[in-house]
Amino acid sequence: AQSVTQLGSHVSVSEGALVLLRCNYSSSVPPYLFWYVQYPNQGLQLLLKYTTGATLVKGINGFEAEFKKSETSFHLTKPSAHMSDAAEYFCAVRGNNNDMRFGAGTRLTVKP
Amino acid sequence: DAGITQSPRHKVTETGTPVTLRCHQTENHRYMYWYRQDPGHGLRLIHYSYGVKDTDKGEVSDGYSVSRSKTEDFLLTLESATSSQTSVYFCAISRDRAEISYTFGSGTRLTVV
């Protein structure tokens, strides 16, 4: 069965610093991987997704993620954090029934 | 998202009472999902539907039932609410199996006292 593990439940960075949120996956088939963002009291919004092809995926708001099969990783990065990036981020993998399997989430805090 | 609406947005109910949450979509999407979100667990699938009257269980289905009599509505029922069902519930939709990402509703915060 497919699953993801997010490393670090809380990450704190200074404004302008690099953002790195870690996600490792487990899948017996080539995975479809996703990052979602959740702002307070809202639903989840898709940041980016990897299906096939280019392993570096660019998403909205300047985020990108790189699929590394050898490391079973799909880490999310942004070169320069902005205060508006403060939110909870979820990594997810598509399951066999077209369902989405989510990680536990990483809360990103951005300090001024 | 304007295409998917959850109601109510907030509810407080007593232990042992039945509760029904509604998800309504205007996108004519085939797949609909109910998730619950709890700290430290992320989102976990409760039930999903792949068409009218076609539903299946997810990872945490005990204590929950669902119904889908119309394409646009997917109902989640807690037959006898317990405190462990205090959570935030999200509905999501996807067009079909080829549509690989979801659109989420804004959630229902349920408190069972």
Tell me the per-residue pLDDT of B31-64, one tens digit each, with 9 for 90 and over.
Answer: 999 999 998 899 999 999 999 999 999 999 999 9
Chain B partners within 8 Å of A102 (Cβ): 35, 42-44
Band (pLDDT 50/70/90 cuts) for residue A98 is confident
Place of tokens 């490792």: A24
Nearest CA in chain A to B109: A41
Residues A41, B108: Cα–Cα separation, whole Å: 10
Pick the residue from chain B with its C-alpha nearest to A88: B42
Question: In this predicted model, what pLDDT tens digit does every residue of B58-110 receive, in sequence order?
Answer: 999 999 999 999 999 999 999 999 999 999 999 999 987 766 778 999 999 99
* A32·B100 Cβ contact <8 A: yes
Q: How far apart are CA A9 and CA A40, in angstroms?
A: 16
Mutation site for A-interface testing, chosen from B9, B96, B100, B103 by largest number of A Cβ within 10 Å = B100
Q: How close A43 gets to chain B, by Cα (Å)? A: 4
pLDDT at B71: 96
Q: How many angstroms separate the most distant Cα atoms in chain A?
A: 43
Cα radius of gyration (chain A): 13
- What pLDDT does B2 receive? 59
Q: What are phi and psi of B28, to 5 degrees?
A: 60, 35
Question: Do A9 and B40 count as a contact with CB atoms less than 8 A apart?
Answer: yes
Whether A24 has a pLDDT exceeding 60, the answer reads yes
Backbone angles phi, psi at A82, to 5 degrees: -120, 155
d(C-alpha A70, C-alpha B103), whole Å:
30
Q: What is the pLDDT of residues A52-94, one digit of tens each?
A: 888 999 999 999 999 999 999 999 999 999 999 999 999 999 9
By DSSP bridging, strand A10-14 and strand B54-57 are: unpaired
Whether chain B has a CB inside 8 Å of the CB on A94: the answer is yes
CA–CA separation, B29 vs B60, rounded Å?
23
Residue of A25, A44, A90 for testing the chain B interface, max B β-carbons within 10 Å: A44
Question: Cβ atoms within 10 A of the Cβ of A20, count?
Answer: 12
Specify whether the CB–CB gap between A11 and A109 falls below 8 A. yes
- pLDDT by residue (tens digit) across B13-37? 999 999 999 999 999 999 999 999 9
Which of B93, B50, B95, B96 has its CA nearest to residue B106? B93
Is the predicted pLDDT of residue A26 greater than 70, yes or no? yes
